[in-house]
Amino acid sequence: MGKPYFYALVAGLSMIVLAQPSYARSTADCDKLQSGKPEILSANIDNQPDAGKNVVADACPTKGKVVSQAPEKLKPINILATGGTGILKKAVKGELQFQNEGSLHEDMSFKYRIYRPETPSGDTMVLLHGSGQDETSLVSFASKIAPDALLLAVRGRVVQDGSNRWYRRLSPVSFDQTDIRSEAEAFAGFFTQAASKYKIDINRTTFLGYSNGANLVNSVMMLYPDLVKQAVLLRSMPVLTGSIDANLGKARVLTVSGASDQLYAPYAPALEDMLRSHGARVEARSIKSDHGLGKDDVKVVSEWLSGATASLKK
């Protein structure tokens, strides 16, 4: 065919590609963090435990949810410079896939997002949000304390009273023990599958949990002691009941409580004692804070994480 006709065809198909709807562009496997990282906003970090609303201690809905990052604006595809007629055919068939920021994946038992750093260190952070939040809630926090780590942000799959949770509550002082164990089992299976799919080194993985999410992490540690080597538990408490035989001798844990957190701070000593009694190396910190997260949390966790990560690499 003549050159003018070919160029006209290319231009037309490029416009077709650009016209694809946003849902057709959310199929990327992995995504990079944006270079400009957002500031920590306490309103997005579960800073209002709703103990006064006759709900359980670890159900802490946020005032405003963190919204997922919007997809990047598409740039025109130069078909001639990126593969010629092969790319042209894929564009016609709708087989071209586009990079998206923090695409939601639903191919395993839990919904999740993957964020890849520009300069990966080989470390991974698994993020478990608080009640009433979602998988994006801790991304900003994690990107500050571990900017070179792969982030696996997971959403709790229990919805109770309209809030995302990691297990069901029965009353303000008791929790569904069967549900805790079944969700812990499901999460352990999910992470094992994700580690295989994304080539995650579990020996260089830190589980970062906040409030309800941190409570699931400490439950997973007790029920599946070989899975978690390192954990950061923010505003956490023990929720499992009964005697459990777990050897946590290989686990290293940081607990951070808020001195003025009237809801969770009283349970911090019990959590520390539980983990230590099973062999975990626990560093317990109390900071001038309530149930919400802030700059002091970033400082404390960053300092501890740098030493803990170095220890894991030995």
Q: Distance between CA atoms of 237 and 247, rounded to whole angstroms?
A: 19
pTM of the full predicted structure?
A: 0.71
Residues 89 and 138 in one domain: no
More confident residue, 289 or 36: 289
More confident residue, 176 or 56: 176
Q: Is it the case that residue 214 has pLDDT exceeding 80? A: yes
More confident residue, 164 or 10: 164
Residues 232 and 273 in one domain: yes
The pLDDT of residue 172 is 57
The pLDDT of residue 307 is 83
Residues 83 and 159 in one domain: no
Environment class of 232 (CB within 10 Å of its CB; exposed 0-12, middle 13-18, buried 19+): buried
Phi, psi (deg, nearest 5) at residue 297:
-65, -45
How many domains does the chain fold into?
2
Q: Is it the case that residue 13 has pLDDT exceeding 80? A: no
Q: Is it the case that residue 55 has pLDDT exceeding 90? A: no
Residues 86 and 145 in one domain: no
What is the CATH number for 286? 3.40.50.1820
The whole-chain average pLDDT of the chain stands at: 76
Q: Is it the case that residue 236 has pLDDT exceeding 60? A: yes
Q: Is it the case that residue 23 has pLDDT exceeding 90? A: no
**pLDDT tens digit string along 133-184?**
999 999 999 999 999 999 999 999 999 999 999 999 887 557 999 999 999 9
Q: Distance between CA atoms of 231 and 205, rounded to whole angstroms?
A: 8
CB 166 within 8 A of CB 215: yes
The pLDDT of residue 284 is 98
Residues 264 and 280 in one domain: yes
Q: Is it the case that residue 96 has pLDDT exceeding 50? A: no
Average pLDDT over residues 234-238: 95
Percent of the chain clearing pLDDT 90 (strictly above): 61
Confidence of residue 31 (pLDDT cuts 50, 70, 90): very low
Residues 79 and 225 in one domain: no
Residues 163 and 132 in one domain: yes
The pLDDT of residue 240 is 96
Residues 26 and 39 in one domain: no
Residues 144 and 245 in one domain: yes
Confidence of residue 311 (pLDDT cuts 50, 70, 90): low
Residue-number span of the structural domain to which 93 is assigned: 1-30+72-98
The pLDDT of residue 102 is 73
Residues 205 and 144 in one domain: yes
Q: Is it the case that residue 21 has pLDDT exceeding 50? A: no
Q: Distance between CA atoms of 306 and 216, rounded to whole angstroms?
A: 24
CB 133 within 8 A of CB 101: no
More confident residue, 123 or 29: 123
**pLDDT tens digit string along 246-283?**
999 999 999 999 999 988 999 999 999 999 999 999 99
Q: Is it the case that residue 230 has pLDDT exceeding 70? A: yes
More confident residue, 88 or 131: 131
Residues 92 and 206 in one domain: no
Residues 129 and 165 in one domain: yes
The pLDDT of residue 263 is 85
Confidence of residue 289 (pLDDT cuts 50, 70, 90): very high
Residue corresponding to tokens 């306490």: 42
